Amino acid sequence: MSTSPIPNAWGALQGLAHRALGSNQLAGSIPPELGSFAALTHLELGENSQTMRTIPKELGALTELKESFPSYNQLLDTRPIPNAWGALQGLAHLALGSNQLAGSIPPELGNLAALACLDLRENQL
């Protein structure tokens, strides 16, 4: 079990295609630098409990992203899903369940033509 944050320096690892960091009790916020992973197709950040507090809008730059799983983190954000995520044209699976998200679902998610699975259960949307 880790209580350290995701290092910002990881944003320099441009060739990574798959990032699995789930079930680690990571502390702090998801670093916006992860938005610079041009080749990233899979991002697993689920089950890090109450430590991952926001979803950075910079993740909307991950144009190759096919799957994102930041579920079971009890995220607390005024706009739970950044509008920029509407630009993730290849995104097929987005799991945001069990994050205590509140607010509205951005209409930009309607632009996700490849989206086959959207998990928003156990939130306050």
* pTM, two decimal places: 0.73
Banded model confidence at residue 1, pLDDT cuts 50, 70, 90: very low
Q: What is the 8-class DSSP label of residue 95?
A: E
Partner residues linked to 94 by β-bridges: 68, 118
pLDDT (tens digit per residue) in 15-32:
777 676 776 777 667 778
Q: Where in the chain does DSSP place strands (E)?
A: 18-20, 42-44, 67-69, 93-95, 117-119
pLDDT (tens digit per residue) in 43-89:
887 766 655 566 778 888 888 888 776 665 666 554 567 788 888 88
In the chain, the domains with their CATH numbers are: 37-119 (3.80.10.10)
